[in-house]
Amino acid sequence: MHDVLPVPPSVDAWLHTPRWRALERIFRDVCRLHGYREIRTPVMESTDLFARSVGAGTDIVSKEMFTFTDRGERSMTLRAEGTAPVVRAFLENGLASGGSMTKLYYIATIYRYEHGQRGRYREHQQTGIEALGGASPAVDAEVIALAVAFLTRLGIADVALRLNSVGCPTCRPGYLAALLAFAEKRLGLMSRDNRRRFEENPLRMLDSKDPDDHAALEGAPVLRSYLCAECGDHFTELRAHLDDLGIAYELDDRLVRGLDYYTRTAFEFVSPQLGAQDVIGGGGRYDGLIEQCGGPPTPGVGFGIGTERCLMVLDRLEASMMLEDERPIAYVISPGAATSRRAVAMVAELRRAGISAETDYLGRSIKAQMRTANKLGAQWAVILGEVELARNAAAVKNLRNSDEQREIPISGLVSFILDHLHNRVE
RNA sequence: GCGGCUGUAGCUCAGCAGGUUAGAGUGCCAGGUUGUGGCCCUGGAGGCCGUGGGUUCAAGUCCCAUCAGCCGCCCCA
């Protein structure tokens, strides 16, 4: 877990609220362009929801959930994953309106009780989308295209898109049987982890990074050649769409995601900028999930992208982001107690006019106030000295250039500042 | 869940084989300019040395535990 601060920390500069806001702003805009609308769900859900949807044998459910019992003896779990809560809300609120699609996006914190490490946090944020109700491979393509657009606009060009199909309940059992038959003969060559997977979750044997496992599974049956006709066609069409959209990808026979609900399309974005935690986002199709959660048979596709990992990649790339300008326009300086009342009233007036303004509350010297105004990056120092006040005027000095200080009647101050805003749209 | 490393001022780090008042850079505050920023100079404040136990005449320094972080595995975002 980590704090995100208004000033970038010297080591992890990505823990900087303006960068988070910039990322979120881009994500929201890309979602708007693609017709996705925001949904917010609670941080906690009934434990059941995750256990049933994600799958009891997965790492997420078997060892990584933040689970506790509430006062009503119900077992609750902090949001362990993004899709299940969206599906739950979709069903509970009747967002399914017969025959049409529902396209949703979220920006949400996710909780996993695992060993912390750089790029892997017990609390992290994901931006994600879910397209519900569309079975066409064109929807898969749109979901992937949205992710690509988002990463591109962020400035993360250096990512690889890995793609695979994990089949469906019709064709997967045939493949599993073939895989088990193949692996059984080579169990002795494989790691302990993979022997465990052989029993519990055989598909996951494929993406082991252990070199021995790699060698042992050399020549193992490939999932994609066992796809049924429908899954095969779906994958072929998806690839054609991606080609049309100019989205490059690499096929990865061994890409199998860690959540049980995926069917057909599975994909991941990986960055060479990160270390062991190199996946910045991933997703896929989950055609059986909604029905399994008690809804009508409804297909779905989506992805989740890790905010921390994106920002870390941007840091490594030393990419510049369009950050909001947080500098005040005006800093009102009052030389003494006698003028500080006027200063307080003055900043209020400026703010009412939409001009960001600050003043000193510590009774410090003019010099100190000027320093602070400069440090904050204020455009104007507005000096309310007794000499000026006697003439109903204020001295104004532009701190962002070396223009000379000038005196303006207080009655004209707001319009003067508005007329001289930087970046003013003419 | 497994293995390894780290934890000293707000921040980045020094601190030699345990030995007097724990340092630097930067940031912060003030003065040099009796009402004026940026640069420069001078001074100042700021540290239960992660936490709890232990060894020792003496512990930031050694040992144990614990928490947090980092690296690898596992897994994922």
Tell me what pLDDT residue A425 has.
42
Domains A17-171+227-316 and A330-419 share a fold: no
Shortest CA to C1' contact from A119: nucleotide: B77
Rg over alpha carbons for chain A, rounded to the nearest Å, is 28
- The burial class, CB within 10 Å (0-12 / 13-18 / 19+), for A160 is middle
**Phi-psi bin for A187: left (phi > 0), alpha (psi -120 to 50), beta?**
alpha
What residue spans define the domains of chain A?
Answer: 17-171+227-316, 330-419
Rounded CA-CA distance A240/A228 in Å is 18
Distance A13 CA to B22 C1' (A): 29
Distance A110 CA to B51 C1' (A): 29
Per residue in A67-76, is it b (16+ CB within 10 Å) or e — as a string?
A: beeeeeeeeb
Task: Print pLDDT tens along chain A (426 aa).
Answer: 788 888 888 888 899 999 999 999 999 999 999 999 999 999 999 999 998 888 877 778 877 888 888 888 899 999 999 999 999 999 999 988 777 899 999 999 998 888 778 888 888 999 999 999 999 999 999 999 999 999 999 999 889 999 999 999 999 999 989 988 888 888 888 877 788 788 777 888 887 767 777 778 888 888 899 999 999 999 999 999 999 999 999 998 888 887 888 999 999 999 888 777 789 999 999 999 999 999 999 999 999 999 999 999 998 888 888 899 999 999 999 988 788 889 999 999 999 999 999 999 988 999 999 999 999 999 999 999 988 999 999 999 999 988 889 999 999 999 999 999 864 443
Shortest CA to C1' contact from A386: nucleotide: B35
* Residues present in chain A in total: 426
Rounded CA-CA distance A173/A107 in Å is 35
Backbone angles phi, psi at A420, to 5 degrees: -115, 25
Shortest CA to C1' contact from A281: nucleotide: B77
Which H/E stretch holds residue A195?
helix A192-200
Task: Please name which of A71, A79, A24, A29 lies closest in space to residue A50, comparing C-alpha atoms.
Answer: A79
Distance A116 CA to B62 C1' (A): 29
The CATH superfamily label for domain A17-171+227-316 reads Bira Bifunctional Protein; Domain 2 (3.30.930.10)
Q: Are A175 and A212 in contact (CB under 8 A)?
A: no
Tell me what pLDDT residue A42 has.
94
Tell me what pLDDT residue A258 has.
77
Tell me what pLDDT residue A123 has.
87
- The burial class, CB within 10 Å (0-12 / 13-18 / 19+), for A18 is middle
Q: Does 3.40.50.800 match the CATH number of domain A330-419?
A: yes
Q: Which bases of chain B are under 7 A from a protein CB atom? A: 1-3, 11-13, 28-31, 33, 35-38, 68-77
Per residue in A135-149, is it b (16+ CB within 10 Å) or e — as a string?
A: bebebbbbbbbbbbb
Distance A121 CA to B66 C1' (A): 21
Total Cβ atoms within 10 A of residue A66: 18
From start to end of A233-277, where are the E strands?
Answer: 250-251, 263-270
